[in-house]
Amino acid sequence: MGCGGGRAGLRTREGLAWTARFPGIANGGAALPDCLIDGEICALNKDGSADFGLLQLTLSDHKTGELVFFVFDLLFADGTDLRGQPL
């Protein structure tokens, strides 16, 4: 997710623009400062575990409001490249 200027954009690892598919997640990211983050969109089952089958069903039904975005890495923040920094 790329964020900044009150906007956020979501792209797949292949570079496909998916912001329109996940408006709730993009709206949440719009509140972040300028940054580029790596993460994964997941559907959670009743136990709170990620469920790939449920994600597929949610995407096919176009009901993405309950999906969550798990952040893995902060790659850039305020123009600074953080990729070489230790965890």
Walk along the chain (87 residues) and give the pLDDT tens digit of each residue: 999 989 999 999 899 999 999 999 999 999 999 999 999 999 999 999 999 999 999 999 988 989 999 999 999 999 999 999 987
Confidence (pLDDT) at 87: 78
Give, in order, the Cα–Cα distances in Å from 18 to each of 22, 51, 80, 81.
7, 20, 25, 24
Confidence (pLDDT) at 1: 92
> If residue 7 lies in a helix (H) or strand (E), which one and from where to where?
strand 7-9
Confidence (pLDDT) at 86: 87
Half-sphere exposure of 33 (CA within 13 A, CB side): 7
Q: Which of 35, 36, 27 is nearest to 7 (CA)?
A: 27
